[in-house]
Chains A and B, each alone.
Chain A
């Protein structure tokens, strides 16, 4: 798994719960290092051990914890990177949904060795979509649900997301888009803040 994934989990636990739960997670997972590099790649088993340990330490069901991680990635004021990079996908939430399928390609534009879940969006009715998520574990769909919820907020859209089993070993997320202009949404400056 790419180091960004492990590092995201590390930052999520540290920022949300504090240093001690993170140290406990690392210890429980039987790892020596407490610091992950976002420019490295790690073994999948290591990420698996971390997620299991974090869920036990935080006393939170695995799926719920991963959803929180997805929300954290977008909604944390301190880390604007993921939110901003996602906002480049489109001016409204519906356009954003349609652009999701390009997400792995877009991510590879920036980080060539970043492997993201394959996504496929199907429109099933007015304002209703099914997003098929193909990944090595079901975890990706959980993280995505949290992330999509936060992005809907960001765009000011009102939408419901539901985890459903997919076919052929994929996971599915059912999306009901109720109102694209429900709230004002957060401002997005295309060029970013002056640095």
Chain B
């Protein structure tokens, strides 16, 4: 855009007092034709001058390194960079670099250099203990610092909130009673149900421990997604073969517990267990590849014990399952009180 020629401003220059310059551009450095500093704004003096000294009469290139767009070490070359964004390093603080810009003064009168803290703002403000008075009121630095601080506070608050949510999640997980994959009860829920049943006087219930056969092979050959689908199918079968009030729980990777309330009829329990095995043996189609599993089941009933304790019953059901496994899998074993386990098959 070219401005129209204005006879009032044409060829004229603005004269500003040093005090006015300090207010308008507190970050200025005026370099005279001989390459020496004529005057410097109060903030630049604070940052650039050695403590207790002034900048007047000094060679700016012994205090500042002009690094970008390319290094220059004298006034004539500096003036060639007129209007460019400069990167200026403080020799006394080589880790800090400022942004700068230079314009020539009229009539070969030297150079006028302005500086700005750039991205090192916070560190510069801190190191030189700058205040709001070190910036012109129209300068956005105060807003910038305000934002940096507000952002940090919001970050801290967000982190505090996240920690609180994580804590709540851990508690919720610890209190969960459901196995997330199958929707069945989990170990904690099964323990709670057993504790409730055995605490009541004269409990009557059957406890079945179901351990899948060949499940590892499914996982290994068809992948974990197939394994998960099989577990969900097993959960469906167990739920369908039991009553609504019974507790069906997944208590390990491929281990399940079934608590059958008001049922200690060994014949009935054996029929239920065999039906479960038969249904689990029906081949599942997984992407056109059949998946075959079975189950080894061990059962005990509360009426076997004078004082049925959950831990003891779990151990006995587990041992009966082991007997099914070692007897060739895919079978059901009922725990024999005070004796070696006898197979119903």
Contact = CB atoms under 8 A, between A and B. Distances in A.
Contact of B131 (A84, A91, A106, A111): A91
A132 B153 CA distance: 29
Contacts of A81: 149, 153
Interface residues of A, number: 21
Contact of A39 (B126, B152, B161): B161
B153 A190 contact: no
Interface in B118-141: 122-123, 125-126, 129-133
Contact of B154 (A37, A91, A106, A111): A111
B147 interface: yes
A188 to B, nearest CB: 8
Interface size grouping (class) on chain B: 20 to 34
Contacts of B278: none
Nearest to B157: A38
A149 to B, nearest CB: 22
Contacts, number: 58
Contact of B132 (A37, A109, A110, A190): A190
A189 B127 CA distance: 11
A106 B146 contact: yes
Contact of B149 (A35, A38, A91, A192): A192
A81 B150 CA distance: 8
Contacts of B129: 189
B122 A191 contact: yes
A182 interface: no
A88 B154 contact: no
A31 interface: no
A88 to B, nearest CB: 4
Interface in A39-68: 39
Interface of B: 122-123, 125-126, 129-133, 142-143, 145-147, 149-154, 157-158, 161, 164
8 contacts: A35-B164, A38-B161, A85-B150, A111-B150, A189-B126, A191-B123, A192-B126, A192-B149
